[in-house]
Every structure is written in C-alpha cells, then in structure tokens.
Structure 1
Amino acid sequence: MKMSEALKTELVNFSELTGEAASARRAELARHVATLFALTSDRCSDEQVDIYDSVLLRLVDMVESEVRRFVAEQMSTLRRGPEETIRRLASDVIEVSEPILVRSTVLRDADLVSIAEEQGNDHRYAIAQREVLSADVTDILVRRGDLKVKRKIASNDGASLSGSAIELLISDSAADATLQLSLSDRPDLAEAQIASLISIASDEVRKKLQTSGRSGETAQLDEAADIAARRMSNQYWLGRYDFETARSRILLLAKKGMVNEAALRRFASEDRFAEAVATFAWLVRCGVEEASHWMVRPDPEPFVILAKASGFSSITVGSLLSIGPWRHRLTPENRSHAMNLYERMTVAEAKRKIAHWSYNVLK
C-alpha cells in the first residue's frame, strides 16, 4: 500500500474521534501523526506533506493545549512542514505557539508580521528570540512591543534594524539602562546613532534614576555611554580584525601573481575586511596599517582619492565602502556622497591631491 493511501485510510478516519469518550484517542492520534511526520518529513513528497497538513490541521482543533504544544514542538525544528498547521499553531495561545515562533523556519516574514500585529506581547517576545529577523519584522516588533520585547530585539545580533527602528529604540532607552546597554553593544549602529546614544544618557536621566533609588542602572548608563564612545574610535573597529594573518595570506597570493582588482572585489563580496585591506595596500603600494586607517575612518574621502588615483573601478570602490567597519559606520548618505565624489573626480585630479599630501608631509 502506498504511503498516501495509508494516510487516507488510517489517519483521516475522524468518525471515531467524536465525543468526550474519544478524547484520549484524539490526543494519542495527534501525537502519533506529529511524531511520524517529524521523522519522515525530509522523505515526504509534496502530496504527502499536504495530506499530513490536512490531518494535523483538523486534529489540533480537537485536542487540548498540552497536546497542541507537543505538536508545535515536533513541528518547530523542521525545514519543511505542514504550513497551514504551523500557521495555526503560531497564532495559538503562547504556551502552544512559543516553540513555533522562536524556531520555525517555515513561517514567512508576512506570517510573523501578521502575528506581531494581531497577537500580544508574549507572542512578540517569542518572535524577538528568533535567530534571524528581517527589518520588516523588527519594525513592527519595535513599534508595537513593550519594553521586554524591545530589550530582546536590541540584544539580538541576528535582528536587522531599520534606521527608524534604531531611532525609536534609542529614544526609548533614555530611561532604561538595560536597553541602552544592549544598544551600545550592537555592531550595526551608524556613527550618528552612536552619538545620539551617548547624548541620551543625560544628567537629567541619571538624576531620575538616582532619585528613584536605581543607582545600579545609573552605573549601567555610564557603562553604555563608555561602550558607545569607544565604538566611535577607529581603534575599536581595527582591533576586531587580524591584519597580520591577512597580510601573510596576501603575500603568498602575490607570489603566485593572484593579487589583483578581481581578488580585491572577491574579498569585498565575502566581507573579508582584513584580506581586502591587505590586498588594497599591496595594489596601491602602501602599508597595511596605513590602509586600514584609511578604510575605517568615518570620512572616506582620502580612500576615495587614493582609489581614483590608482584606477580602481566604481564597482570595486562601492563594494569596499560597504564592508567591514564601513558597513556600520557610514550612513547611506555618506556612502552616496563618497561615490559621487569618486565619479566626479578625474584620475589627474586625484593624483594632484596625493602629490599635495606628500608635499605637505615633506615640508
């Protein structure tokens, strides 16, 4: 007997499942079907998945929350699954929906946004714990969520945040040291946002916390401001990368004649900042330390001038402006301004500026 036929004949017989006396049978069947699918999901055809979906969808509406929680646990870690059932469980009471909301990759962004809008903060907090969250989802979580949700989003490294979401979190952190501390440790804040975070911890906020007896949070505010201030320094960012190892790798590639602009673009596309810096340094004939300082500063104009004088393409320059520290330190406006400068400048103009730098250094 084919599996689909077995499912139809054995699992979709609901006539024996009505009435109070069949409660235990319904629970047993729901657990059995969920376990069976979890064990065989990778080998099921699309038709078989649809059959499981129709059976489970009906069963979860016939059983108690404890059993629905069991089904949700079984479904939560599957790469493919009964989508309608998973959506149904994701909108259930939080005791049932939590494992689905936290772990299921079957849910789409549209599902998460809908649940975040329609359900309460318990559901939003569960979503906020997901390993990866898009900006579309975090936008609604930040707008609609309570402080607990916002703290979780701020501390979640896998949560992408839009500019408006970051601004709202920074604003809300004015009176919450925990939120501010989490924000200060995020690697994706732009320079201006870090400055706002530092300024938000005003003396007035500290006084309010001290007056309410929350001296511990006052210390946290100071710590958050210190962390944010450090992140505005070039050395903070450069200290995250192993330039010495990268330099050794590039020297080996250079001996094989494999260090060129194409290699530089490849390192940029892979966000391998240390290797990109070492390659750039080799191509423009300067030291790795010197190149690293050009490629970390909030003002990229010196880098743009050197890249133009060296004849790099606009594709390469644009790629380099979007990796490593610049991925976080440059605003879209800064990046656009740098590219406009690159496009307008001629190679001759760039070389004249470099000659002027050298003249001033030698004077």
Structure 2
Amino acid sequence: MSEAFHTELVNFQGLSADSSADRRAELARHVAVLFSLTSDKCSDEQVDIYDSVLLRLVDMVEVEVRRFVAERLSELRRGPERTIRQLAGDQIDVAESLLRKSTVLRDCDLVDIAGSNGNGHRLAIAEREVLSEEVTDVLVRRGDIRVKRRVAANQGAVFSTDGMAGLLDAATDDPALQTALSERNDLAETEIERLVTIATGAVRERLLSSGENKEAERLPQAARIAVQRMSNEYWLSRYDFETARGRVMALVREGRLNETSLRWFAADDRFAEAVVAFACLTKVGLHEASHWMVRLDVEPFLIVAKAHGFSSLTVSTLLKVGPWRHRLSVQARAQAVAMYEGMRQDEAIQKLSHWDDMISH
C-alpha cells in the first residue's frame, strides 16, 4: 500500500526524464500544498512518505520554489522532519520562515543551525516565540550585534548566567543593546547593577527612575506573555502527540520500550515521545501525563516516577525536556531532583493508589 501511495504521489523515474524545471517546480508546490492541507489526517507512514518525496523534490528545484515549500511547512505543528531540517539550513531566503516559526525544529536543530550558518539565520532564530538557554547561548556567543539586540529584545527568550553576561559585555559600547536590556523584566539585581554602570545617561536615568509610566506602557504586553507562558495548553499545543504515539507504540510492539528508551527521548529533546513513553510505562492516561510534565508544580510527576522506580538520572533528564526546558530554572530543577531523591517509593505508591481510588469513585 505504501508503494502504491509513493507511486501515485510522484513518479520520480518519469520526472528524471523530464527536463522541464517548470514541471518539477509545479510538482514540489503541489506536494507541499497537499501535505499542508492533509497533515493532521495522515498516518505516520504517510508522513514519512511525504518526507522522503519532499526531500528529493527540494533538491531538484530553484530557490523560489524551496522558499514556497518552506513557508507552507512553517505553520504546521506536524511536519516532515528531515525536509524541514534541510530547508532550515538552506540559504536564508528559504530558511527564514521555518527558523522563525516552525515548532517541528527542536532546540538541538536550532543550536546546530545557529552554530553552522550565518547571522541571517541567527537573526531569524532570535525572533522565535520562545527560546531556551541552550539556543540563546549560541546566539549570544556567535551572533553579531544585530543578533544580540534582537534576542535581548525577545521577551520569550531565556538566558543563562553566561549568556546574559555576554550581552552585558557587548552592551558596553552599544546604547541600542543597553536599551533592549533595560526593558527586560527578568534581570537579576546584579545584572541591573552592572547595566547601570555601563549604560549611557538616558538609559541609566530610565533604570534608576521609578519607571511608573514605562511599566504602565509595558503592562499589557508583559501580562499577555506571562499568561501565555503560564498556560499548559499553550505549551502542549506546540507538540505533535499523534506522530509521537505511533513511534512509541512501534517500540511497545517490538518489546523495546523501557526506561532507557524513555531517557533517550528526553535526551534527544523529543518531548512528545517522552510524554507518551512515560504514560505507557506508568500506565497513566496521556492527558494526565502531558499535563503533569508541563506544569510548574512537578510533585505529581515526581510521585508517579518514584512509584514506578525510575532513576534520578531519568527524572533529571525529563526535567530538562520540552516546556520544562523553558519554564523551570536550574535551581527549580535541582530542588525537584533533591525532592525526588528524598521520597520513599512505598509512600509514592500509596499516594498514587489514593489518587486512583479517588478517580474510580
């Protein structure tokens, strides 16, 4: 059946014999549009077939067509991963929409692209709705001053201590970067103090003033971002759980789903697969597992994990995947691991049993 689908979708033998660039371009556009309209209804096998076909087609067409394909794929929550990664590493005219918007790209993809491509790619990545410390570290370290300004102005970006130190270093001689940093609401006291020492008079005055008017102007945007980032649904909507379930169930059928494979999904930044694997291994519902593994209160997740005997290494790895990569600070993760190591398995089993009793009644 898959071969028939493949044959009907694209006849590559005939296409290779056709010297018409227009024909190849038309076909690439057609396949991209077809997938964008049907992606939510495709089986995992069909998504893989589209991926293989598009991967070959984008190698056969010009920049304008590759840009069209990239733009069609950039809005999709579910997409052909290999094709998207290839187009995201293409020249910036092609890659920009994917780098700015695609949720199919994982942090490890963004880190690799930001490290191996130019500032055009880094500028596009800096505009993403959310950016983890791992990604901003590369943007700050490798990016030019334009990249630093843009990522500093991104209220959805999270910075490590080293990343923020790099921005402050660069801001010494750049008033525009100083201004962007002064408008952030997540600077530590020590970072504010340093910014005051290097800032121009106008920026220093803004930092030292009461700032009531500025805060009033920023409140609607800050409130919107805060509410958005506090919503479990916002984070969960970014992931393709349907495809993830297919991948995990394939491991279940082969008898290869275990704690090691769960930890591998987490280490590879495959949040959706990690959630499905966790749900299967603990025999809890996918809905419950997904909400436990996104919320700021991690105790329910820790109790379920302890009741099923997961190692501290597995728990620590899971606490750094997906939304928790953005939502939990290093300190919060360390506290969660310490809480986990202090739990007794028999007490966790008792609590989990109590929850099951409450649900059943």
TM-score range, shorter chain: 0.5 to 0.7
Q: Which of 70, 78, 81 matches 2:79?
A: 81
- 2:134 partner SS: helix
Residue from 136, 151, 154 that aligns with 1:153: 151
Q: Distance in 1 between matches of 2:209 and 2:46?
A: 56
Look up the equivalent residue of 1:76 and give its one-letter code. Answer: S
Alignment correspondent of 1:53 = 51
Counterparts of residues 1-363 of structure 1 (less than 5 Å):
4=2, 7-18=5-16, 21-201=19-199, 221-230=200-209
Q: Deviations over 1:283-340 (max 9, x none)?
A: xxxxxxxxxxxxxxxxxxxxxxxxxxxxxxxxxxxxxxxxxxxx9xxx97xxx9xxxx
Distance 2:109 2:28 in 1: 24
- Deviation string, structure 1 residues 172-207 (Cα, Å, up to 9, x no partner): 111111000000010110011001000012xxxxxx
What is the distance in 2 between the residues matched to 1:15 and 1:94?
Answer: 31
CA gap of 1:50–1:231, structure 2 versus 1, over 3 A, is farther
Q: Once the 2 structures are TM-superposed, how far is the Cα of residue 6 of structure 1 from its aligned partner? A: 5.1
CA shift, 1:21, in A, is: 2.5
CA displacement, residues 199-225 of structure 1 (integer Å, 9 cap, x when unaligned): 012xxxxxxxxxxxxxxxxxxx33321
> Is the CA contact (8 Å cut-off) linking 1:17 and 1:23 kept in structure 2?
no
**How much does 1:61 deviate?**
0.3
Secondary structure class of the residue paired with 2:39: helix
Tell me: CA distance 1:191–1:14, structure 2 relative to 1, closer, same or farther (3 Å).
same
Unmatched segments (≥5 aa) in structure 2: 224-294, 298-326, 336-361
Q: How many residues align?
A: 227
Deviation at 1:142, TM superposition (A): 0.1
Contact 1:49 1:81 in 2 (8 A): yes
The residue identity in structure 2 corresponding to 1:98 is E
Q: How far apart are the structure 2 equivalents of 1:7 and 1:64?
A: 26
Answer yes or no: is the 8 Å Cα contact 1:41–1:49 preserved in 2: yes
**Alignment check: 8 A CA contact 1:81 1:106 kept:** yes
Amino acid at match of 2:12: F
SS at match of 1:158: coil
Q: Measure, in 2, the Cα distance between the counterparts of 1:97 and 1:25.
A: 23
Whether the 8 Å CA contact 1:194–1:232 is kept in 2: the answer is no
CA deviations over 1:50-94 (Å, ceiling 9, x no partner): 000000000000000100000000000100100000000000010
Counterpart residue identity of residue 88, structure 1: Q
| CA shift for structure 1 position 231 | 7.1
Residue 133 of structure 1 deviates from its aligned partner by 0.4
Q: Percent identity?
A: 57
Q: Distance in 1 between matches of 2:34 and 2:193?
A: 54
Cα distance between partner residues in 2 of 1:7 and 1:103: 30
* TM-score normalised according to structure 2 size: 0.58
Residue 316 of structure 2 corresponds to which residue in structure 1? none
The one-character-per-residue Cα deviations of 1:138-193 (angstroms, maximum 9, x if unpaired) are 00000000000000000000011111111111111111110000000101100110
Q: Is the 8 A contact 1:194 1:229 kept in 2?
A: no
* Letter of the 1:149 counterpart: V
Q: Report the Cα offset of residue 23 of structure 1.
A: 1.4
Closer, same or farther: CA 153–19 of 1 in aligned 2, 3 Å? same
Residue 340 of structure 1: aligned partner? none
How far did residue 232 of structure 1 move?
9.8
- State the 1:269 CA deviation: 5.7
1:231 to 1:163, Cα distance in 2 relative to 1, 3 A: farther
Letter in 1 for 2:25: A
Task: Assess if the C-alpha contact under 8 Å between 1:112 and 1:127 holds in 2.
Answer: yes
User: Which secondary structure does the structure 1 equivalent of 2:77 belong to?
Assistant: coil
Match of 2:266 in 1: none
Counterpart AA for 2:202: E
Instruction: Confirm or deny: 8 A CA contact 1:151 1:182 kept in the other structure.
Output: yes
RMSD: 3.0
Alignment CA distance shift 1:90-1:231 (3 Å): farther
Task: Give secondary structure in 1 for the equivalent of 2:130.
Answer: coil
Which has the higher relative contact order, 1 or 2, with Cα contacts under 8 A spaced 6 or more apart?
Answer: 2
Counterpart CA distance in 2 for 1:230 and 1:142 is 28
Between the aligned partners of 1:190 and 1:120, the Cα distance in structure 2 is: 31
Matching residue's letter, 1:226:
E
Kindly state the Cα deviation for residue 24 of structure 1 after the two structures are TM-superposed: 1.2
2 CA distance for matches of 1:227 and 1:74?
43
Separation in 2 of the partners of 1:23 and 1:183? 48
